[in-house]
């Protein structure tokens, strides 16, 4: 116990009527009674008679006894109150100290978590093209609409532009994995920069991930914390949970994270409309969903889509937004074993998914430790993405 760190309010004992001044007032009050008894007797005879002396002594004895009792009671209350205050302060300081030690141990605080999501990653860093972010709209819906005007979605929008977009450009998601590479090519097609009036042939054929990382990059430039999230949604294809990527943007006014989908210009929509990767994994483990209703119709669904989102979503939370053709070795293991995972795999994924429910300083550090110590969930592998006609997938969207 470090007593120097314990402070007691100066007015505490005054509030209890136990400070030195109230005690003195109390004493003087009793002394006043003693004086009032003593004085008339002395004034009557100018000297003490045996009777008056006996009366005086009896009265004085009563007064002194009462004073002594009251003084002891007040003193006892004073000691007990002091002890209780000191004990409460010690406990409070101990709790605060333990909390501070925990935050220091994990190397983060709530402020540093937000600062972390203000920083560019290797994929969101615009490099020398950061100047293109000047004088862009402040409004999030307007900004999302502007971003959308830079791209043509390879499945939902490409069919009506195939006559003017060369076939070798029908899916450029792997060709331009970073914001910097995207801005470089957009500028080469139209030197005006990020403009609403960009011609279709001057746009890039890119999906929701690129909408998300470009929005994140612009907002980070403005000092706004943003993180990319991977999951599934039903608002793109009713009746099916389609693979999708969006942004979580820090709402300073409400002190919370809000969902923003730049691909559809949806801002601050309900979290119920987005199937977060971790929550979906836990629901699948509990048998609450049909995995075959999640993924991309005609291409992939089931475990491959649900498991395939958890690890890159975790990597994104930790600061690296990998391209869609990058994945973790645990996915290969599932492919090779008829969608079966080991008990250790499942326990690790369950723990990750629980921690991802609320990403604070402590959970962030634990997630980072788990990711770094488990090669099976690290994003270290990739596959080739081929450009395909979207005739059979019209109306569907994917990363």
In tens, the pLDDT along 310-324 reads 999 999 999 999 999
Report yes or no: 381 and 330 within 8 Å, Cβ to Cβ.
no
Bridge partner residues of 257 (DSSP): 250
pLDDT at residue 274 is higher than 70: yes
More confident residue, 67 or 69: 69
d(CA 102, CA 98) in angstroms, rounded, equals 6
Model pLDDT, residue 81: 59
> pLDDT at residue 133 above 90?
yes
Instruction: Report pLDDT digits (tens) over 20-44.
Output: 333 333 333 333 333 333 334 344 4
Cα radius of gyration rounded to whole Å, the chain: 36
Give mean pLDDT, residues 185-191. 97
- What percentage of the chain has pLDDT greater than the value 90? 65
Place of tokens 């429910």: 357
Q: For the whole prediction, is pTM greater than 0.75?
A: no
Model pLDDT, residue 265: 98
Q: Are strands 256-261 and 300-301 parallel, antiparallel or unpaired?
A: unpaired
pLDDT band for 83, please (50, 70, 90 cuts).
Answer: low
Query: How confident is residue 383, by pLDDT bands cut at 50, 70 and 90?
Result: confident
Q: What is the pLDDT of residue 28?
A: 36
Instruction: Supply the pLDDT for residue 48.
Output: 43
Q: What is the pLDDT of residue 201?
A: 95
136-145: average pLDDT: 98
| Out of 11-15, 63-67, 145-149, 189-193, least confident range | 11-15
66 confidence band (pLDDT: 50, 70, 90): low
pLDDT of residue 110: 82
Residue 204 CA neighbour count, 13 Å, CB half: 28
What CA–CA distance (Å, rounded) separates 326 from 336? 18
- Domain positions in the chain are 9-106, 127-393
What pLDDT, on the 0 to 100 scale, is given for residue 308? 96
Tens-digit pLDDT profile for residues 237-272:
999 999 999 999 999 999 999 999 999 999 999 999
Kindly give, in sequence order, each residue whose CB lies less than 8 Å from that of residue 325, ignoring residues fewer than 6 positions away: 173, 174, 382, 383, 384, 385
- Start-to-end CA distance of the chain, whole Å, equals 57
Question: What is residue 69's predicted lDDT score, i.e. its pLDDT?
Answer: 59
Would you say residue 396 has pLDDT above 90?
A: no
> Which comes out higher in pLDDT, residue 341 or 385?
341
Structure confidence at residue 40 (pLDDT): 41
Reported as a pLDDT band with limits 50, 70 and 90, residue 298 is: confident
C-alpha distance from residue 23 to each of 71, 256, 312 (Å): 8, 53, 70
pLDDT band at 75 (very low <50, low <70, confident <90, very high): low
Distance CA 13, CA 10 (A): 7
């Amino acid at each position: 116990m470090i007593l120097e760190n314990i402070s007691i309010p100066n007015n505490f004992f005054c509030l209890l009527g136990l400070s030195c001044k109230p005690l003195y007032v109390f004493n003087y009050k009793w002394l006043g009674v003693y004086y009032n008894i003593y004085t008339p007797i002395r004034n009557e005879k100018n000297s003490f008679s045996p009777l008056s002396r006996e009366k005086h002594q009896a009265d004085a004895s009563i007064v002194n006894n009462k004073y002594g009792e009251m003084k002891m009671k007040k003193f006892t209350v004073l000691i007990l109150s002091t002890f209780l205050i000191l004990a409460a302060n010690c406990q409070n300081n101990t709790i605060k100290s333990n909390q501070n030690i925990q935050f220091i141990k994990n190397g983060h605080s709530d402020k540093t978590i937000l600062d972390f999501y203000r920083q560019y990653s290797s994929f969101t860093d615009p490099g020398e093209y950061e100047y293109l972010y000047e004088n862009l709209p402040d409004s999030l819906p307007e900004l999302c609409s502007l971003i959308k005007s830079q791209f043509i979605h390879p499945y939902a929008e490409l069919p009506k532009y195939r006559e003017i977009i060369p076939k070798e450009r029908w899916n450029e998601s792997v060709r331009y994995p970073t914001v910097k590479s995207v801005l470089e090519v957009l500028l080469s097609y139209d030197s005006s920069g990020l403009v609403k009036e960009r011609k279709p042939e001057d746009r890039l054929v890119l999906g929701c991930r690129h909408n998300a990382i470009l929005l994140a990059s612009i907002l980070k430039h403005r000092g706004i914390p943003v993180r990319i999230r991977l999951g599934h949604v039903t608002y793109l294809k009713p009746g099916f949970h389609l693979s999708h990527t969006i942004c979580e943007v820090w709402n300073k006014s409400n002190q919370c994270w809000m969902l923003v989908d730049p691909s559809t210009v949806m801002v601050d929509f309900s979290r119920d409309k987005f199937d977060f990767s971790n929550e979906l994994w836990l629901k699948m483990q509990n048998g609450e969903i049909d995995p075959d209703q999640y993924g991309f119709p005609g291409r992939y669904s089931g475990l491959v889509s649900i498991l395939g989102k958890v690890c890159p979503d975790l990597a994104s939370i930790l600061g690296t937004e990998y391209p869609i053709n990058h994945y973790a070795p645990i996915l290969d293991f599932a492919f090779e074993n008829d969608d079966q995972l080991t008990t250790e795999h499942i326990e690790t994924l369950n723990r990750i998914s629980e921690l991802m429910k609320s990403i604070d300083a402590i959970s962030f550090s634990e997630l980072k430790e788990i990711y770094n110590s488990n090669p099976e969930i690290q994003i270290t592998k990739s596959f080739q993405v081929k450009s395909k006609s979207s005739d059979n997938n019209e109306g569907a969207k994917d990363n």
